[in-house]
């Protein structure tokens, strides 16, 4: 089965694109959703985090205080690497298991940190990048998430650069501000991936849309 890795920077529109693929019947596995499952109370990821970092990262009902943890890791790169080292292997293992069980000619794996986690590249056959300008990302973060300009820039600076993502991509879907074109672009990519899956051709020259 053909496996497509969907990636992109924060606020690039990955979730919208993934939803469009899902509407077309494509199995979608989301690394962020798996990360949330792994950090629910009683799950292995949360156990690993509390064993390493203590219970100060927990809320009053024993749940992970994601806002507190996020603030800590953005303020301390060493802590961020430590947390990543605990969670990423668990997430990749779950991604691999879910992809292996997915039905159909191809599946989509949403991996926001695909470029930052080189091991994740081996799980997929091609990389689809949802791309937009840094100015668009900043505007979306500020309007959607209520981030200040300073905090939005800090979030973007902690991620891989747009150039690094574009170098890693086989296919690119530009997603600035024209939501009307998105379903058509995803439909074209869907037909393209069905062709590749049928022909067993994972190395064909990529598409850039719209």
pLDDT digits (tens, 9 = 90+) for 178-195: 778 899 999 999 999 999
pLDDT at 7 over 80: yes
- Cα–Cα distance between 58 and 40 in angstroms, integer? 11
pLDDT at residue 74 in the model: 78
Strand partners, 3: 107
pLDDT at residue 156 in the model: 81
**Is the pLDDT higher at 145 or at 95?**
95
pLDDT at 158 over 80: no
β-pairing verdict for 2-7 and 106-110 = parallel
Confidence tier at 129 by pLDDT (50, 70, 90): very high
Distance of CA 156 to the CA centre of its chain: 14
**Is the pLDDT higher at 95 or at 77?**
95
Confidence tier at 149 by pLDDT (50, 70, 90): confident
**Is the pLDDT higher at 143 or at 190?**
190
pLDDT at residue 67 in the model: 85
Strand partners, 110: 6, 30
pLDDT at 162 over 90: no
Mean pLDDT of the 152-177 span: 88
User: DSSP label at 180?
Assistant: G
pLDDT digits (tens, 9 = 90+) for 109-128: 999 999 989 999 999 999 99
Instruction: Let me know if domain 1-27+104-210 sits in CATH 3.40.50.2300.
Output: no
| Of the listed ranges 38-42, 76-80, 103-107, the one predicted with least confidence | 76-80
Q: List every span in the chain annotated with CATH 3.40.50.300.
A: 1-27+104-210
Residue 94 backbone phi and psi in degrees, to 5:
-70, -40
pLDDT at residue 154 in the model: 79
Confidence tier at 153 by pLDDT (50, 70, 90): confident
- Cα–Cα distance between 186 and 159 in angstroms, integer? 25
Residue 202 backbone phi and psi in degrees, to 5:
-95, -5
Mean pLDDT of the 168-186 span: 91
Q: Which has the closest alpha carbon to 108: 210, 173, 208, 20?
A: 20
pLDDT at 205 over 80: yes
């Amino acid at each position: 089965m053909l496996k497509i890795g969907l990636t992109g920077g924060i606020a690039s529109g990955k979730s919208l694109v993934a939803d469009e693929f899902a509407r077309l019947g494509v199995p979608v596995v989301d690394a962020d959703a798996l990360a949330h499952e792994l950090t629910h109370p009683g799950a292995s990821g949360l156990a690993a985090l509390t064993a390493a970092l203590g219970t100060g990262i927990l809320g009053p009902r024993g749940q992970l205080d994601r806002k507190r943890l996020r603030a800590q890791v953005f303020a301390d790169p060493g802590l961020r690497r430590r947390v990543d080292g605990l969670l990423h292997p668990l997430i990749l293992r779950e991604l691999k298991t879910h992809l292996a069980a997915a039905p159909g000619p191809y599946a989509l794996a949403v991996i926001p940190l695909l470029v930052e986690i080189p091991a994740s590249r081996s799980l997929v056959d091609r990389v689809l990048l949802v791309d937009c300008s840094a100015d668009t990302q900043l505007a979306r973060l500020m309007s959607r998430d209520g981030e200040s300009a300073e905090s939005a820039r800090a979030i973007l600076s902690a991620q891989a650069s747009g150039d690094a993502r574009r170098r890693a991509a086989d296919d690119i879907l530009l997603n600035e501000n024209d939501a009307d074109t998105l379903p058509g672009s995803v439909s074209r990519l869907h037909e393209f991936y069905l062709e590749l899956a049928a022909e067993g051709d994972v190395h064909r020259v990529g598409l850039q849309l719209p």
